Amino acid sequence: MRTGILGGTFDPIHIAHLHAGETALHQAELDRVLFIPAGDPWQKLGRRVSATEHRLEMVRLATAGVDGFRVDDRETTRDGLTYTVDTLATFPEDEELFLILGADAALRIPTWKRHQEVLDRATVLVVPRPGTDSTAVADILPDPVFLDMAVLEVSGTEIRAMVRNGSAFRFLVTNEVHRYISENNLYAEVGGADMVEGPTSMEEPS
């Protein structure tokens, strides 16, 4: 089994996530891509993140009916902060794992908890990001695989701000996710989300 892992806060999941998943699925000849919403992501310590049930449901809506896409809730059901090394350890040893990461996130892997174990367990598939040099990524990671795909400058932060400002964002997410955000009044108010609590350091504790 060749499994791609696309993790993230998904607050909300948007077209750049979906494009990265589809590209990885085909270019790396994966059997499946798992979209894994983070529970309490350590990278978001001290920041507000929408309730887990909202983020998980948006991922389910966005990926429903797409061949090769699966939703995985293993991080949302685990207590404590979310670390990639712990997530990878929950997969069978004979399953070949591919970690799908934006180039900017890939550059930060050396700050992750037990990052060498992450690199030993999974091949990193790098999603191009505006302003991030692929050479810098190659200097840090052993044998990264760079995905050939459109560079989409879309972020959850931008979408949340657009919702609060009343700006149009319909075509940055799927129709179902757009409807869900509107019906549940997500992102309409600053501070209308849960605080991620834990250590104050923004580097992943070892």
Phi, psi of 26 (to 5 degrees): -90, -45
What per-residue confidence (pLDDT) applies to 5? 98
Helix (H) or strand (E) holding 24: helix 15-27
What local confidence, expressed as pLDDT, does residue 79 receive? 79
Amino acid 34: pLDDT: 98
Domain segments of the chain as ranges: 2-195
Q: Residue 128: phi, psi to the nearest 5? A: -65, 140
Spell out the residues 6+ positions from residue 20 whose beta carbon is closer than 8 angstroms to its own. 6, 100, 102, 127, 147, 149
Contact criterion met (CB below 8 Å) for 35 and 13:
yes
pLDDT, residue 15, reads 98
Structure tokens at 147: 């995905």
Q: Which residue has the tokens 């990278």?
A: 43
Task: Determine whether domain 2-195 maps to CATH 3.40.50.740.
Answer: no
The pLDDT value given to residue 191: 53
The pLDDT assigned to 46 comes to 52
Cα separation, 53 vs 145, whole angstroms:
33
Per-block mean pLDDT, blocks of 10 residues, the chain (206 long): 96 98 98 92 62 96 98 90 91 98 95 95 95 90 93 94 96 98 90 40 32
Q: What's residue 199's pLDDT?
A: 33
- State how far the Cα of 174 lies from the Cα of 15, in Å rounded to an integer: 7
The 8-class DSSP code of residue 111 comes to: G
Amino acid at 154: V
pTM of the predicted protein model? 0.88
Q: Tell me what pLDDT residue 2 has.
A: 98
pLDDT of residue 158: 96
* C-beta of residue 19 within 8 angstroms of C-beta of residue 149: yes
